[in-house]
Amino acid sequence: MVCVIDTNVLLSGLRSRQGASFQLIEHASRGRLVPVVTVPLVLEYEDVLSRPGLLPHLTASDIRGFIDWWVSMAQVHAIHFLWRPHLPDPKDDMMLEAALAAGSCTIVTFNLRHFRGSRSLGITAITPQTCLQKILHRL
């Protein structure tokens, strides 16, 4: 399954080994989930995941290593057309642009209401739990 993974999902998966977010990271390590990234999205991952206090059990080096690993498994896409403003939060527009650059893939997020406008462009937003169910259904 090819998906754009919202930063909040990665943060949740790195904070706790419980829950769907961590399991999605595990499925990515097995090739069952292929993340889509763009330069702006990777920069957001770095910015958010490196904030002091958010992941106190991880060092800065651990976080850089995780992001490098995540990108190594990902489909990396360039953004050739900006769809802004399309969603209420400009940072969400960068995920929409990544999904469109990848050929209309799914966005995995906890903030479904922020992505209602993505449907008009053929992009579906789902929760980590729904994504996990789809992956498990394919096994």
For range 73-88, the mean pLDDT: 85
List the domain range (segments joined by +) for residue 77. Answer: 2-138
pLDDT digits (tens, 9 = 90+) for 25-41: 999 999 999 999 999 99
- Integer Cα distance of 42 and 13 in angstroms: 16
Coil vs helix vs strand at 125: strand
**Nearest Cα residue to 79 out of 96, 58, 62:** 96
Helix (H) or strand (E) holding 35: strand 34-37
What pLDDT is stored for residue 56 in this prediction? 97
Task: State pTM to two decimals.
Answer: 0.94
Question: Residue 120's domain is classified under what CATH number?
Answer: 3.40.50.1010
What pLDDT is stored for residue 113 in this prediction? 92
Distances (CA, A) of 137 to 58, 80, 130, 131, 134: 32, 34, 10, 10, 5
What pLDDT is stored for residue 134 in this prediction? 96
Q: Structurally, how many domains does the chain consist of?
A: 1
Residue 139: band (very low, low, confident or very high) from pLDDT cuts 50, 70, 90: confident
